[in-house]
Amino acid sequence: MEYFLQQLINGLSLGAIYGLIAIGYTMVYGIIGMINFAHGEVYMIGAFVSMITFLVLTMLGGIWLPAALLIALIMAMVFTCIWGWTVERLAYRPLRGSFRLAPLISAIGMSIFLQNLVQVLQGARVKPMQPLISGGFELMEHDGFTVTLSYLQIFIIILTIVLMTVFTLIINKTSLGRAQRATEQDRTMAALIGVNVDRTISTTFVMGAALAAVAGLMVTLYYGVIDFYIGFLAGMKAFTAAVLGGIGSLPGAMLGGLLIGLIEAFWSGYFTIEYKDVAVFSILVLVLVFRPTGLLGKPEIEKV
Amino acid sequence: MLKFDGVHTHYGNIEALKGIDIKINQGEIVTLIGANGAGKTTTLMTLMGIPQASKGTVTFEGEDITHKATDKIVSNGIAVSPEGRRIFPRMTVYENLQMGAITTKPEYFDADLKKVLGLFPRLEERIDQRGGTLSGGEQQMLAIGRALMARPRLLLMDEPSLGLAPLVVRQIFEIIKEINEQGMTVFLVEQNAFHALKLAHRGYVLVNGEVTMSGTGEELLASSEVRAAYLEGGH
C-alpha cells in the first residue's frame, strides 16, 4: 500500500511534466493538423536555459529561491517562445498549403538541427546540477518504508494545475481562444470573418513553447541531469500522451500525460525499469488499435 | 462602392476568372448568376483575397483592396456569408456570433447582438446550442447573422438558398430584402436565378469566367437567353 502510494505520487509528478509538453503537441495539431516534431527540442531548450539561469544566479551569489525559480521560469519561457515563433515562421509557414508531408519533414529537420545546435554549443556530456529544492513531507511509514511527498513534487503539481486552469480559461473564454478554435475548425472561414490566421497560429506555437519551457524547468529540478538528447524521448512520450488522450483535446493531453507518467512509475516500481518505455509505447499501440480517436477525442458528429 | 476592373484569377494554371468587370453601387442588391463552375464563388473569394487576383484591380470605396490581407478587408467593412454556410460546428451559436464581431469594437456587441437576434428569433432559442447541431436553415441564418455582426457596409452572400426547403428559401430572401431596405449593400451569388433576379436591382451573368450579360433584374428575367439557360425546367 505504501509502495503503491509512493509510485502514485511519483507517477503524477512525472505525468504532469509529460502533460505540459503534450499540450504543445495537441494545440499545434489541433490548429494546423501537423505534428510538430521539433516540440521535444523546445522543451530541451527550456531545460537548458533554466539550468544555465540557475548556474548564473548561483555564480552571482545566493538568491532567494522563489525569486530564482521565477527568474529561471521567465528566462526559459522567453527563450522558448522566441524559438517556437521562429521555428514556425521559418520552417512551417512557408510550407503551409504545400503537400501534407512537407511541414512534417521540415519539423524533423528542425528537431535534428536544434539537437545538434545544443550539442555543439553545450557539449554532448550530461549536465548535472545541485538539487535546489530538497526535503518534503513524510506522509506515512510502515515496515521501514517511508512515503514522501517532496516539496518539489508539490511545486510541480500545483504549477501544473495553475497553468492548466489558465490555459483552459484562455481557450474557452477569451477572444484569442475563440480565434484559435475558429481557426482550428475552419481556417478559411476564420480568415473570412477577420481573424488574422497567421498570427493566431504563431500565438499557438508560442503558447505551446511556453508550457514546454515550464516542463523543461521542472525536469531540470526533478532529475538534476539534462543533455541535448532529452527532448527526443520526452517528446515521443508527450506525443504518445497527446494521442492517448485524443489529439486536439486539451484535457485529453493532460489526462494522457498523467496516464503515461503513472504507467511508467508503476511499471518501474512493480516490474522492470528497463522495460518501462516498452510498456508506455505498447499502450499507445493498444489505444490506437481499439480507440483511434484517443480517450477524450470524440468522433465528430456534424451536419453539412 | 465596389468595382472589379478586368480581374483575372488563377488556381495554379487554371484561369478561373478571365477579366471580369462588375460594379456595385451603394444601397443596391446586385446578383451574380451562372452555372456550376462558372466562377461565381471565385469572384466572391477574389474580392476577399483568397486567392488574390492575378491581374486587374478590386476597389472598395475608392481604395484598392486587390492585395490586402483578408482580415483587413473584413475590417474595411465587407463581410461574407459563404457557400455551404461554414459556421463553426463546435462553437455555440453565441460564440459563432462573437466570432463575427471579432473586428468590431466590443462596446457595439450587445446592441448588434440584439439586432441580429431580432432579425432571427430562431437563433435566440438556440443560443447555447452548438452550431453543428442546427438545421440547414438555422445554419444559414447563423451564417448571415455572423456576417452582420461585423457591421459590414457590403454584405456578400454565396448561395444562401442552397439545399434549403422552398419555405425557408423564401424566408431567407425576405430577410435579405429587409436588411437591404435598412441600407445594406448586398452582393448575392446564386444558382437560384429566378429568386435572385426578382430580388436584385441589377444582375450579372457569368459564363466560364466571363461576364456575358448584365442589366436590371427585370431585364435579365425577361431576356430569352437567361430564361433558356437558367430558368427553364421547373422554376
Cα gap A35→B99, rounded to integer Å: 27
Peptide bond into B51 cis (omega under 30): yes
Q: Which candidate, A199, A193, A228, places its Cα nearest to that of A40?
A: A228
CA distances in angstroms from A217 to A51, A69, A208, A226, listed in the order given: 8, 9, 14, 11
Chain A positions touching B94 (Cβ under 8 A) are none
pLDDT tens across B29-69, in order?
Answer: 999 998 888 899 999 999 999 989 999 999 999 999 999 99
Cα gap B97→A253, rounded to integer Å: 29
Query: Which pLDDT does position B159 carry in this prediction?
Result: 92
Query: Can you name the residues that pair with B57 across neighbouring β-strands?
Result: B5
Question: Cell match 512557408: residue?
Answer: A94
C-alpha cell at A94: 512557408
Q: Determine, for residues B89 and A192 on separate chains, whether the beta-carbon distance falls below 8 Å.
A: no
Query: What radius of gyration, in Å, describes the C-alpha atoms of chain A?
Result: 20
Query: Which pLDDT does position A100 carry in this prediction?
Result: 80
pLDDT of residue A265 exceeding 50, the answer is yes
Smallest CA–CA distance, residue A176 to chain B, in Å, is: 10
A179: closest chain B residue by CA:
B99
CA distances in angstroms from B221 to B12, B189, B197, B206, B226, listed in the order given: 35, 16, 6, 15, 7
B51: closest chain A residue by CA:
A188
Size of interface A-B (CB pairs under 8 A): 74
Residues found in chain A: 304
CA distances in angstroms from A235 to A43, A51, B35, listed in the order given: 8, 19, 51
Query: Which pLDDT does position A298 carry in this prediction?
Result: 65
Burial class (CB in 10 A: 0-12, 13-18, 19+), A236: middle
pLDDT of residue A33 exceeding 90, the answer is no
Sheet containing strand B2-11, strands side by side: B14-24, B2-11, B55-60, B63-64
Please state the ipTM of this predicted complex.
Answer: 0.90
Which residue in B88, B129, B146 has the most chain A C-beta atoms within 10 A of its own C-beta, making it the best mutation to test that interface? B88
Facing residue for B71 by CB, picked from A185, A196, A303: A196
The mean pLDDT of chain A is 87
The mean pLDDT of chain B is 92
Residue B235 pLDDT class (50, 70, 90 cuts): very low
Q: What share of chain A has pLDDT > 90, as a percent?
A: 38
Smallest CA–CA distance, residue B148 to chain A, in Å, is: 10
The pLDDT of A231-251, averaged and rounded, is 88
Match domain A2-290 to its CATH number in 3.30.70, 1.10.3470, 1.20.120, 3.40.50: 1.10.3470
Q: What does the domain layout of chain B look like in residue ranges?
A: 87-151
Cα gap A297→A287, rounded to integer Å: 12
Please say whether the beta carbons of B4 and B187 come within 8 A.
no
Cα gap B209→B37, rounded to integer Å: 8
Chain A positions touching B100 (Cβ under 8 A) are 193
pLDDT of residue B234 exceeding 70, the answer is no
Q: Which candidate, B13, B22, B95, places its Cα nearest to that of B58?
A: B22
Query: Which pLDDT does position B8 carry in this prediction?
Result: 95
Per-window interface: B 128-147 vs A, CB < 8 A: 132-136, 139, 146-147
Q: Determine, for residues A175 and B90 on separate chains, whether the beta-carbon distance falls below 8 Å.
A: no
CA distances in angstroms from A7 to A4, A14, A264, B120, listed in the order given: 5, 10, 9, 57
Cα gap B47→A279, rounded to integer Å: 55
Question: Cell match 538568491: residue?
Answer: A63
pLDDT of residue A240 exceeding 50, the answer is yes
pLDDT tens across B108-127, in order?
Answer: 999 999 999 999 999 999 99
pLDDT tens across B9-31, in order?
Answer: 999 889 999 999 999 999 999 99
pLDDT tens across B80-98, in order?
Answer: 999 999 999 999 999 999 9
Measured between CB atoms, does A98 come within 8 Å of chain B?
Answer: no
pLDDT tens across A108-152, in order?
Answer: 998 999 889 988 888 878 888 877 777 778 877 777 788 888 889
Q: Which candidate, B171, B224, B226, places its Cα nearest to that of B203?
A: B226
Measured between CB atoms, does B5 come within 8 Å of chain A?
Answer: no
Residue A304 pLDDT class (50, 70, 90 cuts): very low
Chain A positions touching B159 (Cβ under 8 A) are none
Facing residue for B91 by CB, picked from A181, A191, A192: A181
Q: How many C-beta neighbours within 10 Å does residue A103 have?
A: 25
pLDDT tens across A219-233, in order?
Answer: 988 888 888 888 888
Per-window interface: B 149-208 vs A, CB < 8 A: 150
Residue B186 pLDDT class (50, 70, 90 cuts): very high
Q: Determine, for residues B90 and A181 on separate chains, whether the beta-carbon distance falls below 8 Å.
A: yes
Measured between CB atoms, does A302 come within 8 Å of chain B?
Answer: yes
C-alpha cell at B117: 437576434
CA distances in angstroms from A299 to A177, A233, A238, A249, B89, listed in the order given: 22, 29, 22, 12, 13
Query: Which pLDDT does position B228 carry in this prediction?
Result: 82
Chain B positions touching A195 (Cβ under 8 A) are 71, 99, 102
Measured between CB atoms, does B219 come within 8 Å of chain A?
Answer: no
